[in-house]
Amino acid sequence: MRITGISTHVVGTPWRNLTYVRVHTDEGLSGVGETRMLGRTDALLGYLREAEANHIAGSDPFAVEDLVRRMKYGDYGRAGEIVMSGIACVETACWDIKGKALGVPVWQLLGGRVTERVKAYANGWYTVERTPEAFHAAARRVVERGYRALKLDPFGTGRFELDREETLRSLSLVEAVRDAIGPDAELMVEMHGRFNPATAVRLAAELEPFRPSWLEEPVPPENLRALAKVAERTRLPIATGERIHDRIEFRELFESQAADIIQPDVGHLGGIGETRKLAATAETHYVLVAPHNVGGAVLTAASLQVAGCTPNFKVLEHFNDFADAEVKQLVRGAPEVVDGYFELPQGPGLGVELDVAAAAELPQRRARFDLWAEGWEKREQR
């Protein structure tokens, strides 16, 4: 079996473009992968056009390791977000082809399942006014839908520091959400790399009464020593990793012991196999895995393949019950959250199929997501 070519399909929403890549073979089988780019979709498409000619066409889709190696290192330059995201789409599609050809789900090819259900947490649900009353009502809708975990960034446009007025406002939002979901549901607090270490440590102490399951990206992701400084001064678990695009770059994070949970994005880290390798390394450091997952149903299905065979897997993020829910309709067999959990996919490959005609009805948009703009949490077209 050989790859004859790829086709790309970009789906637009107000705040994100979802890029789907279908890999085609000379035996009629095709597979699909997905990533979500912010502000770099055209760059990704340009890279994929070159990679198709230089590396992908003519390759054996079963030889996933070889294809990833050539795409990552065969152009000499250091692979960053664009290259690793392109690799992720193609790599995931190859796993999909392999699973279909063999008649088994991908998790079966990665060592077999360690769980039948994967806990989900909701994101994208707080597209409301930034008041305790609005956040309380929105959080109630999440738990009424069966979720037992959710995440929010309550900090507005906070950057480096947060004055007392904004601190009290942010804490009031977290307090309202905790009240809405009750004492037993998991509450994750996202900081989006906003703060300097001193501010992050102060906020962590003030958040402790609400028992968050983690603080996510308390400081900008470029400086791991700053993250370690925060980790050393709080009792709350630290989560990070969505903006690290190469598993090798997690080495320093593990050595610093600055994170309790890592959040690789399957769509940016090079795909399913790369994420599974990273998870195995994390296990040796007693670190849990909770992938960043802000794409559509294909990326969710790919993340579930990793979840199914990963002993140190914690929970999977899910946007599409609350933000841009229409993107689920583009994929046949889209995973659904029932009573707070995903069932492990049982179909061959990823267990999903992209509806190309439906995807064409949501063309690429000039999507933007500016965390420093007032009202960013509403995720509206600007």
What is the β-pairing status of strands 238-240 and 261-262? parallel
Structure tokens at 294: 């802000």
Q: Which residues sit opposite 317 in a β-bridge?
A: 121
Are 87 and 271 in contact, with CB atoms under 8 Å apart?
Answer: yes
Task: Using alpha carbons only, give the angle 360, 363, 368 rounded to the nearest 5 degrees.
Answer: 150
Which residue is catalytic, options 24, 136, 292, 318? 292
Within 10 angstroms of residue 354's Cβ, the number of other Cβ atoms is 24
Q: Which residue out of 192, 245, 268, 318 is catalytically annotated?
A: 192
- Which residues in the chain belong to E strands, given as ranges? 3-12, 17-25, 30-37, 117-122, 149-152, 186-190, 214-216, 238-240, 261-262, 288-289, 316-318, 331-332, 337-338, 341-343, 353-354
Cα–Cα distance for residue pair 52/86, rounded to 1 Å: 10
Would you say 322 and 303 are in contact if contact means Cβ atoms under 8 Å apart?
Answer: no
24 as an active site residue: the answer is no
Amino acid making up residue 138: A
192 in active site: yes
Q: Which DSSP category does 371 fall into?
A: T
Distance CA 263, CA 274 (A): 13
Residues labelled as active-site residues: 192, 292
